[in-house]
Structure 1
Amino acid sequence: MLKIRLAGQDALLHPGGALYLPAEATLLVADAHFGKAVSFRKLGIPVPRGTTSENVARLDAALAETGARRLVFLGDFLHSARSHAQGTLAVLHAWRARHPGLAVTLVRGNHDDRAGDPPASLGFEVVDEPLRLGPFALCHHPRPVAGAYVLAGHWHPCVSVGGRAFERLRLPCFWLGDESVPARAVGILPAFGSFTGMHRIEPRPGDRIFPIAGDVVRALPIVPVQ
């Protein structure tokens, strides 16, 4: 994990795509999109199986490595109404049974509006954005909130980086806007779900970009403010 300072607090960027706030003992995850693959298969589109189990394993690893006592999903927990499939929910209930003391909150996103709230048996608190937590406003949609630094998802950000052999790689990234500018005090987490697309971003001067390459999070040079 990579330790940074954000809104006056320490934050840890996990290579699985989660962000941990030690002062709040809270792990943030954006855009898990559980059940996306089964949603596609129900439409007759052949896609890989096992993505829910894979995502849950990565979530377990992030929880274990951070010791988080609270987990907040920043929207798009389930992909669609078709995600309420028996197999998908069985994996999620088994995961929840392994973490009975973990407080879990879902900040509703646009896919949650269509998919509906998770089953009550999962024991989630479900709220609308913004959810205030210390100096942060936890949201799904990345837009400013007065008096807070926003942490959100929705965009599935990635950057294109080049190698010595002229190859180009698209890497998921944490995109943290310049907190000294209120209109840009917004940070966007990468999509946590393994079966999701990515949106290439164009960093602005003062933004901080942290791409994920395998099990490593690194910082790109900050574009200087003119």
Structure 2
Amino acid sequence: MTSHLPIELEQTELWLLAEKAIYWPAQQALLIADIHFGKAAAYRRLGQPVPHGTTQANLQRLDALLARYPCKQLIFLGDFLHAPESQTPATLDQLHDWRATHAELTITLIRGNHDRRAGDPPTSLGMNVVPEPLLLGPFALQHEADPHPSHHVLAGHLHPAFRLNGRGRQNLRLPCFCIGDRLSLLPAFGSFTGTMTVTAEDRWQIYVVGDGEVWPLKRSAPIRPGICP
């Protein structure tokens, strides 16, 4: 077990990170899915008692990854902002302060369903905002988990997690990477997001994330190309 686990996909080395992201060494790129900035703020505006500090926590986790791995580009696979209500002065000020500390970093956002509703981030954040898919090397970088005719899809959106069953009624649901023949899923990076449970019957190669580690679960059947649970 390790805090990052190298795999080969489409003859390309990718590192699955325990922080629920992918590092692509050859591109010096960090791939992040579903960070959902401002989600807690949006819920508070609806009168829901949710925790403070999630934006800062997510930014601190990003900082730690950017310090650990040499990155020329940071690519968000959709759902950067959660909702129109997320664009509060407090959230945007934190994002601008963070961006100022990484002024030379190329940042790309591939629009997801929440981005289309929330609106693009302010241009002052200096991000390239593009529709899906973004074709890079052998991969189609997307938000939605839809097959691509010529490229292996790396997508977010579904927030996959796997349930580990213990004795009696004890169980633990952990975020996971789902690697398929032509379509693969990243777990949600955001610290305030839900999950969708996947099972061994879904026929992914599943890599579970927990306690600062990444480890593979044994796959008992071939992956069905292009099928999303």
Whether TM-score is above 0.5 comes out as yes
Q: Determine whether 1:187 maps to 2:190.
A: no
Q: Is the 8 A contact 2:163 2:199 kept in 1?
A: no
Q: What's the offset of the Cα at 1:202?
A: 2.8
Counterpart of 1:174 in structure 2 is 177
Structure 1 range deviating more: 16-25 or 122-131? 16-25
Shift of residue 206, structure 1, vs aligned partner: 5.1
Indicate which of 125, 133, 138 corresponds to 1:135: 138
Letter in structure 1 aligned against 2:103: P
Equivalence for 1:45: 48
Note the 1:82-161 alignment, pairs <5 A.
82-161=85-164
In the alignment, residue 219 of structure 2 is paired with which amino acid? I
Consecutive unaligned residues in structure 2, runs of 5 or more: 224-229
Q: Distance in 1 between matches of 2:117 and 2:200?
A: 31
Please give the root-mean-square deviation of Cα atoms over the aligned residues, in Å: 1.4
| Alignment partners' CA distance in 1, 2:27 and 2:35 | 21
Secondary structure of 1:161's counterpart equals strand
Mapped to 2, the partners of 1:78 and 1:36 lie a distance apart of 7
What is the TM-score when the length of structure 1 is the normalising length? 0.94
1:199 equivalent in alignment to 2:196: yes
Alignment-mate amino acid for residue 37 of structure 2: F
Work out the number of aligned pairs and report it.
220
Residue pair 1:205, 1:222 contacting (<8 A) in 2 also: no
TM-score w.r.t. the length of structure 2 is 0.92
Deviation for aligned residue 1:204: 4.6
Shift of 1:203: 3.8
2:220 aligned residue: 223
Q: What residue number does 1:182 align with?
A: none
Equivalent position SS for 1:218: strand
Partners of 1:106 and 1:204 in 2: CA distance: 32
| One-letter amino acid of the counterpart of residue 209, structure 1 | I
Deviations along 1:54-105, one digit per CA (max 9) or x if unpaired, are 0011111112222111010000000000111011111111111111111000
- Report the secondary structure of 2:34's partner residue: coil
Identity of aligned residues (%): 49
What CA distance in whole angstroms lies between the structure 1 residues aligned with 2:36 and 2:203? 30
